[in-house]
Chains A and B, each alone.
Chain A
Amino acid sequence: MAYPTKYRYTREHEWIDANGKTASIGITEHAQDSLGDIVFVELPKIGDKVEKGKVFGSVESVKAVSDLYSPASGTVTAVNEELTSAPEKINADAHVAWIMKIELSDPGEVESLLTADAYEEYVKEETGH
């Protein structure tokens, strides 16, 4: 699975697709694969302030619950309501199924995150293969 080079990534397995002051955020292919069938997404609310590295919601598979950590700070401008009734869309295409959009308070923050290559390397080290 190719990780889009346009995105940046966190060690907690979120991706962020930043365009100027706005950004879409989701979880990575590796994250969805580790979780298995996703059955529940706890979304933030529009207008919520999110902070880099802090929890903004959760995803749950049949087996486990996993917190979502925001890759950058900002204000939530949109949430993907479709995931409430169809959370499996994350399994189907994790890099398209965004979870929230935010207005970045500091677009420079995104630069410090992992590139696609660095993230892929990180996943290899973490899983040992």
Chain B
Amino acid sequence: MQKFSFNRRLVIIIVCLIVSFALMTVSVAVRNKRSTPPLIQQFGNDIVGLTDRIVALPANGLSGSVSSISELLNTYQENQQLKKQVGELAQTKVRDQTLAKENKQLKQQIKLNDSLTDYSAISAAVITRTPSSWQNQVVINKGSSAGVVKNMPVMSGSGLVGRVAEVNKTNSKVELITDNNDSANRFAVQITTKSGKTVNGVLSGFNANSGQITMNNITTKAKISKGDKVVTSGLGGVTPKGLYVGQVAKASGDDYGLSTKLYITPATDLSDLNIVTVAVTKQ
């Protein structure tokens, strides 16, 4: 009798293991291929997302009020610094408007409707974050009903922070660029060097220890120097052109000495996200 129950337990454990593997494999495959998760999962996630807001909103509100009190302390200094910057900003803004207008007129002349730089923005608040040490994901409060589509780039502050990994009706998951998994989508970027040459490439990963984005396999002869700005190139279709990624921190030879490896300092603090912007390419 004892033996029988032991065998039964073993069978249950093995069956559970097999089912677990099957489910994991299926969900990874679905995640990589399909544009949205299955309908049932989407529905479930929407309901859970709505319930989560009951907990997340007060919690985030509380944290917001605490941080605003601490921010109050260094407001005076900040204010003086910002006043100086505002003067310059107004000038840039006016020039920007003129250029945008001119750009539009020129586009009309050559009958070009939308180029790679055109995108509209959806702002979203971060509801929650995946409690996991390797999956760097956040859940945002906008989904397919607001026009979010899988693989759209997500920005925060002044720079790129990730891409939309899963879309439900009212919320979606954003995979941050700090996530290093195999299936993570890499962004196509370009660097304009000081001599005016453009170098194209693909971001290849994130170095957690130094907090820098890495970029491998650059075979160009152009000299890339520290401080060169890295922006998305718009190649590949989903990401608009000209989203700021960061600055080159170091250029060095790769492990085999054949190509150049770049270290890029991200433009935004990737560990502290509250409000993000989803960039929607105009099709």
A and B bound? no
State the A residues within 8 Å of B (CB).
Answer: none
State the B residues within 8 Å of A (CB).
Answer: none
